[in-house]
Every structure is written in structure tokens, then in C-alpha cells.
């Protein structure tokens, strides 16, 4: 575990952390940089995890919604912004069912350069319309720093996708904006790598970061990725940041989205991000994994029960 001290930390603050680490049975490796001091906490996971260094967990606030702490938040919407009709209809559906935030990609990272790449700025405008109509804050992906200003006009949360988890210049630029960030775990990244990527945002002074488990590559071919549910308690042990789970991209299949959402909620996730579409068969991308809009309110009811098992409450409908 790494403890990054604030720039304003005094020598006595650093020594207090070292003392706490050593009392917990681990050892501290101190690197004094020009701006900040970083303390590496070395020891086995059990010892390190039980050392209480952080008083409070981060609760990310987005337009009155809270992600983290006792709250459970659902981020829902289509994979990509494809048309005004689909965007508005989906926004109404998820708002009426109690989702906290609306997702939709205007810039899409696609495996094939010949696949639909997103509507770009026209997509951002449709997201703005959906936000104006429903009041739902927007989560949307930024892939390229050249689109930062346009995305900042609409996004309440900037999504950094799995493929960009280690795009350090992008992470730094987004950190400088201070805008809340949803940082997705890379397809083959370890939890330590995810946490180091989060540090790139945090070190710019932006503490509004959510970590997102979205499935990792394993040898299993029965589904798109393997959802790493153990990442939930382990990330919470290693970090104070909220953890959101995206079962849609992990599964690639609609039938797995409900059971994996329930498991994530019961395991203590702070929220889920799911794809939903009024007519998944017609969706431009990721239709097979999209929840049917007509099933969405039942999905939310089940989720509420699972979140309660972990002592969390769904936020009231805005
Ligand atoms: C997405 O959420 O739209 C997406 C592309 O996910 P990921 O970066 O996890 O593949
Ligand atoms: Mn998708």
C-alpha cells in the first residue's frame, strides 16, 4: 500500500503515519519527493489491511447524488448515444425506476476501426438534452484529451475507459479538471495498477474518483470477461475510494447481468453501472448485454434488496 501525504503535511504528520504503520506490524519505506512524501507500507496483506490510516472513506458527490459510504448508486443507460429517441426514452426509464446517473458514450473505444465510433459532439448534445429533461447527471467517456473541453460541458462524471486506464497524460489532465472520475480497470490490469492509475488523478488534487471493476481477461471463454468480485472487498481494504461494478461489459450477456449485479451489491459495492436499451436487438453496440428497458424497474427492486444485505440504501428518486 502507498500512502501519499498531502503537500501541506509536516514532518510530524509523516512520523505519525510511520509510527501507526510500525505499530500495525508492517514497515514503512519513505520517499521524500520535491512536492510530496510517499510512504510505502510493506508487510503481508493482512497486516497492511488492518492498519487504520484513513479516518473517512471518500464519498463522491455528483449533483446531489452520493456515491460511497452508506449509499448504493445505479448508473444506467445505453452503451452508446445513438439517437435522440433512444437516449430520451432510456433516460426516462432509468430515472423513473430510481437510477441515480445516466450513462452513454459519445466517443466509443471499439475494437475494430470499422465499427461505429460514436456520435462525438452530436452525441454530447443529446446527452445534454437527456439531462435537461430528466435531471439525471451524465457519465460519459473521454478518450482523447482533445475532446476534454467539449466533454466537460456535459459530463458530471468523466469516464476513463478500461483501454485508457494507463493513459497517464489523460489521467493527469482529467485530474486537473477536478471533475468526478469513473476509472475503469484495464482488461488485464492488477488492482495495484488500477490504484496507481487512480493516484495520477488524485495527485492533481482531484479526490472525486470512483474505481470500476468491469471484468478482466482470463482463460474462460464462456463469457466476455471474468467479473472479479473479490476486487470489491480488496479495493476497499486498500483504498478509501468508492467501488462501482460494471457487470454488463464483464458478461457480454444479458442473463448474467442481474445475478452479477446482486452479487456485487451483496459484496459491498458502492454502485453498479449497467447498460439498458428500449430495443436491444436494434442497438448499435452491445445489444446482447443490454437489459431490456421493460425489465429495468424489476432489476432495480432486486438490486435494492441485495444492497440492503451490505447495509446500503438506494438513493431516493431525485
Ligand atoms: C463502456 O462502459 O462504455 C466501455 C467501453 O467500457 P470498458 O471501457 O470497460 O470496456
Ligand atoms: Mn458498451
Q: pLDDT tens digits, residue range 87-130? A: 999 999 999 999 999 999 999 999 999 999 999 999 999 999 99
Q: CA 60 to CA 66: how far, in whole Å? A: 6
47 pLDDT higher than 60: yes
Q: What is the pTM of this model?
A: 0.90
CA distances to 48, 51, 115, 126, 195 from 238, in Å: 8, 10, 38, 38, 9
| Residue 233 shares a structural domain with residue 306 | yes
| Residue 46 shares a structural domain with residue 72 | no
**The CA-based dihedral angle spanning residues 194, 61, 205, 48, taken in that order and rounded to the nearest 10 degrees:** -50
Kindly report which listed range (15-24, 129-138, 303-312) carries the lowest average pLDDT score. Answer: 15-24
Q: Which atom of ligand 1 is nearest to the CA of 248?
A: 2
Which ligand is closest to the CA of 189, given by its number?
1
2 pLDDT higher than 90: no
Q: Whose CA is nearest to atom 10 of ligand 1?
A: 162
Residue 113 or residue 39, greater confidence: 113
Predicted confidence at residue 318, as pLDDT, reads: 44
CA 192 to ligand 2 center in whole angstroms: 25
Residues 277, 83: contact at Cβ < 8 Å?
no
36 pLDDT higher than 90: no
Q: Whose CA is nearest to atom 6 of ligand 1?
A: 161
Mean pLDDT of the chain: 94
**Surface-to-core class of residue 175, CB atoms within 10 Å of its CB (0-12 exposed, 13-18 middle, 19+ buried):** buried
Q: Does residue 224 have its Cβ closer than 6 Å to ligand 1?
A: no
Q: Domain holding 37: CATH number?
A: 3.30.70.1140
| Residue 40 shares a structural domain with residue 136 | no
Q: Domain holding 74: CATH number?
A: 3.20.20.70
Predicted confidence at residue 125, as pLDDT, reads: 98
* Percent of the chain at pLDDT exceeding 90: 81
| Residue 297 shares a structural domain with residue 193 | yes
CA 189 to ligand 2 center in whole angstroms: 19
From 76, 108, 119, 141, the mutation candidate for ligand 1 (largest count of ligand atoms within 8 A of CB) is 141
140 pLDDT higher than 80: yes
| Residue 120 shares a structural domain with residue 79 | yes
Helix H or strand E encompassing 157: strand 157-160
| Residue 44 shares a structural domain with residue 154 | no
Helix H or strand E encompassing 302: helix 296-309
Confidence of residue 55 (pLDDT cuts 50, 70, 90): low
From 82, 90, 184, 231, the mutation candidate for ligand 1 (largest count of ligand atoms within 8 A of CB) is 184
| Residue 23 shares a structural domain with residue 63 | no
Mean pLDDT, to the nearest integer, of 75-82?
A: 98
Which ligand is closest to the CA of 159, given by its number?
1
Confidence of residue 35 (pLDDT cuts 50, 70, 90): confident
Predicted confidence at residue 315, as pLDDT, reads: 73
CA 301 to ligand 1 center in whole angstroms: 25
pLDDT tens column, 216-260: 999 999 999 999 999 999 999 999 999 999 999 999 999 999 999
| Residue 95 shares a structural domain with residue 49 | no
Structural domain containing residue 20: 1-55
Q: 192: left (phi > 0), else alpha (psi -120 to 50), else beta?
A: alpha
CA distances to 117, 123, 148, 182 from 108, in Å: 5, 11, 14, 15
Residue 35 or residue 272, greater confidence: 272
pLDDT tens column, 256-314: 999 999 999 999 999 999 999 999 999 999 999 999 999 999 999 999 999 999 999 99
Predicted confidence at residue 172, as pLDDT, reads: 98
| Residue 116 shares a structural domain with residue 251 | yes
Instruction: Provide the number of structural domains found in the chain.
Output: 2
Q: Does residue 280 have its Cβ closer than 6 Å to ligand 1?
A: no
Residues 6+ apart with CB under 8 A from 166: 186, 189, 193, 197
| Residue 62 shares a structural domain with residue 35 | no
| Residue 37 shares a structural domain with residue 147 | no
| Residue 51 shares a structural domain with residue 67 | no
Q: Count the residues in the chain.
A: 318
Domain boundary among 39, 55, 71: 55
The closest of 81, 162, 166, 155 to 117, measured between CA atoms, is 81
Mean pLDDT, to the nearest integer, of 124-141?
A: 98
Domain boundary among 21, 38, 55: 55
Amino acid at each position: 500500500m502507498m500512502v501519499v501525504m498531502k503537500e501541506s503535511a509536516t514532518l510530524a504528520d509523516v512520523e505519525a503515519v510511520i509510527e501507526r504503520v510500525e505499530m500495525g506490524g508492517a514497515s514503512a519505506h519513505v520517499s521524500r519527493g520535491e512536492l510530496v512524501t510517499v510512504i510505502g507500507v510493506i508487510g503481508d496483506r493482512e497486516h497492511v489491511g488492518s492498519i487504520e490510516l484513513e479516518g473517512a472513506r471518500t464519498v463522491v458527490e455528483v449533483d446531489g447524488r452520493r456515491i460511497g459510504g452508506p449509499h448504493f448508486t445505479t448508473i444506467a443507460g445505453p452503451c452508446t448515444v445513438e439517437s435522440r429517441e433512444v437516449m430520451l426514452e432510456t433516460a426516462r426509464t432509468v430515472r423513473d425506476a430510481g437510477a441515480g446517473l445516466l450513462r452513454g458514450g459519445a466517443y466509443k473505444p471499439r475494437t475494430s476501426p470499422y465499427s461505429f465510433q460514436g456520435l462525438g459532439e452530436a452525441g454530447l448534445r443529446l446527452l445534454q438534452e437527456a439531462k435537461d429533461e430528466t435531471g439525471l447527471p451524465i457519465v460519459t467517456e473521454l478518450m482523447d484529451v482533445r475532446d476534454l473541453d467539449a466533454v466537460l460541458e456535459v459530463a458530471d462524471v468523466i469516464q476513463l475507459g478500461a483501454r485508457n486506464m494507463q493513459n497517464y497524460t489523460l489521467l493527469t489532465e482529467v485530474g486537473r479538471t477536478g471533475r468526478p472520475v469513473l476509472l475503469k480497470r484495464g482488461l488485464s490490469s492488477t488492482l495495484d495498477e488500477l490504484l496507481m492509475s487512480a493516484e495520477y488523478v488524485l495527485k492533481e488534487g482531484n479526490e472525486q474518483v470512483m474505481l470500476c471493476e468491469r471484468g478482466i481477461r482470463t482463460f474462460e471463454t464462456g463469457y466476455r470477461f471474468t467479473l472479479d468480485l473479490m476486487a470489491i472487498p480488496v479495493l476497499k481494504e486498500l483504498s478509501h475510494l468508492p467501488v462501482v461494478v460494471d457487470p454488463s461489459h464483464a458478461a457480454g450477456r444479458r442473463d448474467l447481468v442481474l445475478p452479477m449485479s446482486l452479487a456485487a451489491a451483496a459484496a459491498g459495492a458502492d454502485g453498479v453501472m449497467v447498460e439498458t436499451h428500449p430495443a436491444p436487438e436494434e442497438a448499435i453496440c452491445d445489444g446482447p448485454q443490454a437489459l431490456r428497458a421493460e425489465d429495468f424497474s424489476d432489476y432495480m427492486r432486486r438490486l435494492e434488496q441485495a444492497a440492503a444485505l451490505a447495509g446500503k440504501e438506494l438513493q431516493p428518486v431525485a
